[in-house]
Amino acid sequence: MHIPTKNSICGEVVSTTAFVLALRHLPTYQGGYFRLVDGNSEAEKAAMFTAAQRQAGAAQVANAEGQ
């Protein structure tokens, strides 16, 4: 889930949290987390998020192929 924080906040520290609830326990599920504190604009952070998603996806594929 992507929750953009608007640039109009202008330098204020803003914490954003997202979570998912499921109806059943998935014992092997591992969450993915991205720390996006660098970048000077919403657009830069969106680009960093997209790149991190691609990198995480590639790592998952490589890990699955290595098993």
Report yes or no on 15 lying in a domain: no
Report yes or no on 2 lying in a domain: no
- Asked if residue 48 lies in contact with residue 39, where contact means CB atoms within 8 angstroms, the answer is yes
Neighbours of 45 (CB within 10 A): 19
Q: What is the pLDDT of residue 47?
A: 92
Q: pTM for this one?
A: 0.54
Number of domains in the chain: 1
- Asked if residue 38 lies in contact with residue 48, where contact means CB atoms within 8 angstroms, the answer is yes
Res. 51 pLDDT band, cuts 50 70 90: very high
Q: Determine what percent of the chain is predicted with pLDDT higher than 70.
A: 72
Report yes or no on 57 lying in a domain: yes
Query: How many angstroms separate the Cα of 51 from the Cα of each of 21, 24, 37, 47?
Result: 26, 31, 14, 6
Q: Where in the sequence is the domain holding 51, given as residue range(s)?
A: 37-67
Report yes or no on 55 lying in a domain: yes
pLDDT for residue 12 is more than 80? no
Report yes or no on 1 lying in a domain: no
> What does the block give as tokens for 27?
């014992």
